[in-house]
Amino acid sequence: MTRHVLAFLTAALACLGALSVTSTAAQAAVVEVTYSPLSLGDYCAAKVDSSSAIGYYNGSLSCYRRSTGGSGLTYTGSGSASAACLYFNPTYTNLGYGQGASQALICRYSV
């Protein structure tokens, strides 16, 4: 009889453990956040060049500042798309990124 009780308790605890793992996994969500070129400019200014004001993602992240006289943009350097995603949301798990409309950066997170 004691063996049956121990077997039952072991099975019950295993089921409770499986339920807690399942409920935790069910709570995780995937979200996509789009960062415009102006938002990317914040990352560029903080991590690439302090004079940067805008960033474009087109397969790679390029940073620019406004040219003197306001006649266009001057390249200030390259950034990392994955680092930009982590810069904006450091507590989220970065699942990937892609290009959005108007050369925006779309970051996919698990939250």
Q: Which residues contact 5 (CB under 8 A, 6 or more apart)?
A: none
- pLDDT per residue over 41-82, tens digit each? 999 999 999 999 999 999 999 999 999 877 799 999 999 999
Per residue in 30-40, pLDDT (tens digit) is: 999 999 999 99
For residue 86, the model assigns a pLDDT of: 97
Number of other CB atoms surrounding residue 52 within 10 Å:
26
Decide: pTM greater than 0.75: no
pLDDT at residue 95, rounded to an integer: 97
* Burial of 70 per CB tally in 10 Å (0-12, 13-18, 19+): exposed
Q: Is pLDDT at 101 greater than 80 in this prediction? A: yes
Pair 15, 7: CB distance under 8 Å: no
For 59, the 3-state DSSP assignment is coil
The predicted pLDDT at position 28 comes to 77
In this structure, is the dihedral angle defined by the CA atoms of residues 45, 49, 36 and 87, taken in order, positive or negative?
negative
